[in-house]
Structure 1
């Protein structure tokens, strides 16, 4: 047996052992977790229906991360999305690309005419939102991940908060009166939510907010990567997610996604925000996205999850 073959065999064996361990952990969790603990749906992860022959890289997984602004009692998968980030991960090179999409982008929503892109979640749930974003960027996500902001707060808190590089000081009288200092700062769960949602005090409003959301996602990924090697960290995360997640994915697929996220190399993360003009339609402020720019981002990142320039 050659050295490369032995290395691959050992890698497959370790992977198989970890999947077996995960299966055992999930089986035990199913026995000891009370039924009441699995009734709280905090996250939704949906596999998007793809057209045959989709032109995507075979090693790249695309996930559309959505922060829903659903109020208590509302269905978070049929409300308006407050944060939209299309994230691609190359499982071979461990590179990642993040394409931010301003929520007020005025686009053609299939079957519903022109409206703000975030309203496609309200009209048709994750599937329609994935289709609409795919039409704009040229990449239809493999999965759509939706959560409410209170649960996002809890998620960030559970990993001990995050660090982000903030390019400018800013504040908000309602969400963060004391504001955020410029430079490298620590964000707890609530602060990460506020940092992601504030826009009125930012020079470029929705565009700067989308860029801040990308900084928060970077911070989450960095924390997950730093802790991924700890025994049981990924497995516990998957178990916790399954207790509070509605999904059409199995445990092994969730584990693979978690592993892909944890293995992304920070130096290989690139991100851009789709820009556009500002207009008013029907009395509402909208973003008129530069569709050619959005498509260029999609063309650059489709095969290898790398953005060359914004």
Structure 2
């Protein structure tokens, strides 16, 4: 009963935001939710919502929707069962970008914005996203602070002399603000590089979801935490009813039914630059596995 009430409140707030924040609002934004234009005849599962979550590498004054993406996670939610999965795409994956030749996958955001990035990742996995959510580093930090910080299960100690000299210890680590952002950005000191960074980004997503689930019934938590997001939320082509459906789906995700894999691959060299050569067969297997029920049986 509590979940229904909290979800209703969440949906009302999101609906109001959708009405007062017009499409294509100019200026910088922390979060932008874009509805992906689908080709006719694309098979869509009615119980599934696919959202490509993107961390934008925008610097002050840059448009977050037209720079290279720093983090890429394809998130699938089953609205009937509460299952959810995330497929991490290493940002340096060398792929075909429609109309732009071959390049690192994150360059698709620069060349054609969220629509092109969504199509590029969708072609790789064989599953097209319904929406693309682009978040800035600052926006993510403010959101984590607003919900009171998160806890992640860190499998190894690591640090970075520039981003986090003190490092993150092994085990349960509490993160707040930019600590969370840096946890998901560091790669050079991780043994698996881009692959381990993508796995850490999934740990952040799980930590955020666990905190929301744990605190959802606390009076004022959803409203206060949500407003930190919606003050700077912009939508493109998303109706109030769609926002409510997304909010409802996220609220009903069962933490015990969450799976996640990082797309494997090898390290290659293109034009003198180091890139990730993604395992295309594994990409299609992940997409096919999760297509109908948001569950990946094995990575």
Q: Normalized against structure 2, the TM-score is what? A: 0.90
Which string of whole-angstrom CA distances, capped at 9 and with x for unpartnered residues, describes residues 77-124 of structure 1? 000000000000001100001000000000000000000000000000
> What are the residue-to-residue correspondences of 1:216-255 with 2, within 5 Å?
216-231=204-219, 233-235=221-223, 239-248=227-236, 249-255=238-244
Note if 1:159 corresponds to 2:147: yes
**1:19 touches 1:252 (CA, 8 Å); kept in 2?**
no
**Larger radius of gyration, structure 1 or 2?**
1
The equivalent residue for 2:73 is 85
Note if 1:129 corresponds to 2:117: yes
Change (3 A) 1:232 1:60: farther
The equivalent residue for 2:175 is 187
Shift of 1:141: 0.5
Shift of 1:251: 3.5
Distance in 2 separating the partners of 1:91 and 1:298: 17
> What are the residue-to-residue correspondences of 1:45-124 with 2, within 5 Å?
45-124=33-112
Which string of whole-angstrom CA distances, capped at 9 and with x for unpartnered residues, describes residues 190-229 of structure 1? 1111110000010010000000000000000111112223
Deviates more, 1:150-159 or 1:233-242: 233-242
Shift of 1:19: 6.6
Paired residues, what number? 291
Deviates more, 1:297-306 or 1:224-233: 224-233
The higher relative CO (CA closer than 8 Å, separation ≥ 6) is in: 2
What SS class does the counterpart of residue 54 from structure 1 fall into? coil
The equivalent residue for 1:202 is 190
Q: Could you tell me which runs of 5 or more consecutive residues in structure 2 were left unpaired when the two chains were aligned.
A: 21-25
The equivalent residue for 2:262 is 273
More helix by share: 1
Shift of 1:270: 0.4
Distance in 2 separating the partners of 1:232 and 1:269: 26
Taking only aligned residues, the RMSD between alpha carbons, in angstroms, comes to 2.6
Shift of 1:23: 6.4
